[in-house]
Amino acid sequence: MNVAFCTYRKWAYDIAAELARHRGKWGLTKAVGAIGEEAPIETLAPTGKKIDPKELEILFKDGFFGDIDVLLMYGWSWILPKEMVKEKVCLALHPSPLPKYRGGSPIQNQIINGERKSAVSIFRMTDKLDAGLLFAQEEISFEGHLNEILGRMTSVGTRLSLEILDKIAEGTISPKEQKGEPTIVRRRKPEQSELTKEFLHKADSTKLFNFCRALEDPYPNPFVAVADGIVKISWTRVSAVPDGKAVKADDICALRKRDFRGAVSVLCSDKKYVVIEKAA
């Protein structure tokens, strides 16, 4: 059984690199997006290139996937053409307990909404948004910084993918319908990363920290408009005591960019501090 991998996201490349080492009844033979120089497979795009969905459709029509049985569209951001999902087994990995949080930016939306647990869901793609049969779903923690969450997602996603592909090759897979009331979220835009005065005035430390950690690299970092420009925030933590310059949330916009060369502690409505440790 031949498998192809299509994506441009770092966490998905990490899964693909592991799958490329597999030898058995199936093998990863093609990739749209590089997955490591050591992988002996045909690759069409450099790491990090955002693949245009129209390019993928052309590849499909030109027969690039002709010998492929399963396409792993991990980290893919668009609905595939009807002909493609009908002819091939196209699987997606979605970091939410589907059918909850279908749609864009599922990780960021869940963290900002205060979700402490989520899931890795692998499902068959259809011409409808994140609505296909579930091939696997496993709970993961959404505690900690974003790199920790992505690490859990990658680890679980790799293991589940290996299990799923083995079962498909053996003909023993039993996908299930998604159960429950679907919820839909929209893909976040970079301008939504702004920490506005209104948000800062109302936010307690948990809400502010969740907002900041949800938008750590590789996503558009949270930013605040200060007296002499824009400051992007890349790393924060919650503390009972201040570290460095301490300011009330209402006063952060009066700071200057140079004030963020050291730690800045924002006093929140619950009397705890969110310490901004890294900013630019």
The answer to whether residues 208 and 276 touch, using CB atoms and an 8 Å cutoff, is no
- DSSP alpha helix (H) spans, the chain: 10-19, 53-61, 82-87, 106-112, 146-170, 197-202, 205-214
Which of 121, 280, 88, 207 lies closest to 80, judged by CA?
A: 88
- List, for residues 123-143, the tens digit of each pLDDT value: 999 999 999 999 999 999 999
Joined tokens for residue 259:
């004030």
Q: Does residue 34 surpass a pLDDT of 60?
A: no
How many angstroms separate the CA atoms of 32 and 46, rounded? 8
Q: What is the mean pLDDT of residues 152-170?
A: 98
Mean pLDDT estimate for the chain? 92
What pLDDT is attached to residue 254?
Answer: 94
Q: Does residue 160 surpass a pLDDT of 80?
A: yes
> What is the three-class DSSP state of 205?
helix
Q: Does residue 71 surpass a pLDDT of 70?
A: yes
Q: Does residue 50 surpass a pLDDT of 90?
A: no
How many angstroms separate the CA atoms of 271 and 258, rounded? 25
List, in order of start, the domains of the chain with CATH numbers. 2-185 (3.40.50.170), 190-279 (3.10.25.10)
Q: Does residue 70 surpass a pLDDT of 70?
A: yes
Q: What residue type is 203 in one-letter code?
A: A
More reliable by pLDDT, 5 or 45 = 5
What pLDDT is attached to residue 48?
Answer: 47
- Out of 3-17, 60-74, 197-211, which region has the weakest mean confidence (pLDDT)? 3-17
The answer to whether residues 3 and 21 touch, using CB atoms and an 8 Å cutoff, is no
Q: Does residue 44 surpass a pLDDT of 70?
A: no
Instruction: Please spell the DSSP secondary structure of 152-170, one letter per residue.
Output: HHHHHHHHHHHHHHHHHHH
Those residues whose C-beta lies under 8 Å from the C-beta of residue 87, and which sit 6 or more positions away, are: none
What pLDDT is attached to residue 37?
Answer: 47
Those residues whose C-beta lies under 8 Å from the C-beta of residue 275, and which sit 6 or more positions away, are: 236, 237, 238, 239, 242, 243, 244, 263, 264, 265, 266
Q: Confidence class of residue 7 from pLDDT cuts 50, 70 and 90?
A: confident
Q: Does residue 40 surpass a pLDDT of 70?
A: no
Q: The whole model's pTM is what?
A: 0.92
